Amino acid sequence: MLARPSAHRQTAMALKSTVYKAQLNIADTDRGYYADHALTLACHPSETEERLMVRVLAFALFAGEHLAFGRGLSSEDEADVWEKDLTGEIQRWIELGQPDEARIRKACNRSREVVVITYGARAPEPWWEKIRASLDRYTNLTVLRIPAEACDALTAMAERNMTIQVTIQDGVAFVSSGERNLEVAPVTWKAAAG
């Protein structure tokens, strides 16, 4: 008869995050931002490669000197991607997926600007129809939709070590990695005021 593993051994066998590294070259002609970023991304065991690559895209779309990855899935109090000023105040909070209204409200109250990036083939439209009316009051909120086909092509670029070039012009991101090329045109479902 086989012995059952002890609780200690079961804990030790828990899945760990997978580390991805990306050399990201950004040429954002819309904002006049040109920079290289060496990114290290911890992919939580419950995070898909699709979500991981949308995080990379979000970073490229809003890149700046102080933009960084939060703990995302492993923390209720941090954004997926965020930008803080030198005093620690949150300037931009970027949330991925389909957060509930309470999480969006919390982000809007804590940050100067909030961006929700929804993606994937499953349920963004029903989520948006259900939540949109309750979000009208948040003037510092932008909601973007990444088309499913773009997510599929972006996911195909995922590798443990990646080199990615992103050129942004007229609101469209041209993404390339190795032999793969992709055009991502985020759809604006809600724009922040001003």
Q: What is the mean pLDDT of residues 93-117?
A: 95
pLDDT for position 17: 79
Does residue 8 form part of some domain? no
Phi, psi of 145 (to 5 degrees): -115, 125
Residue 5: Cβ within 10 Å count: 11
Range of weakest confidence among 69-83, 122-136, 157-171? 69-83
Phi, psi of 133 (to 5 degrees): -60, -35
Q: What is the mean pLDDT of residues 79-107?
A: 94
94 or 15, higher pLDDT: 94
15 or 176, higher pLDDT: 176
- Nearest CA to 154 out of 184, 118, 114, 194 is that of 184
- If pLDDT is split at 50, 70 and 90, which confidence band does 38 have? very high
Does residue 25 form part of some domain? yes
pLDDT for position 1: 45
pTM reported for the whole predicted model: 0.87
Does residue 9 form part of some domain? no
Q: What is the residue range of 112's domain?
A: 18-190
Does residue 12 form part of some domain? no
Tokens of 153: 């092509």
Distance CA 188, CA 191 (A): 7
Cα 182 from chain centre: 17
Does residue 45 form part of some domain? yes
CA dihedral 100, 102, 104, 109 (to 10 degrees): 180
pLDDT for position 44: 81
| Sheet with strand 180-184: strands edge to edge | 33-43, 18-28, 161-169, 172-177, 180-184
Distance CA 49, CA 6 (A): 32
Tokens of 125: 């439209």
* 69 pLDDT higher than 60: yes
pLDDT for position 13: 47
Does residue 13 form part of some domain? no
Does residue 1 form part of some domain? no
What domain count does the chain have? 1
pLDDT for position 185: 96
Output the average pLDDT for the chain. 89
Range of weakest confidence among 26-35, 71-80, 132-141? 71-80
- If pLDDT is split at 50, 70 and 90, which confidence band does 75 have? low
3 or 93, higher pLDDT: 93
160: domain CATH number is 3.10.640.10
Does residue 7 form part of some domain? no
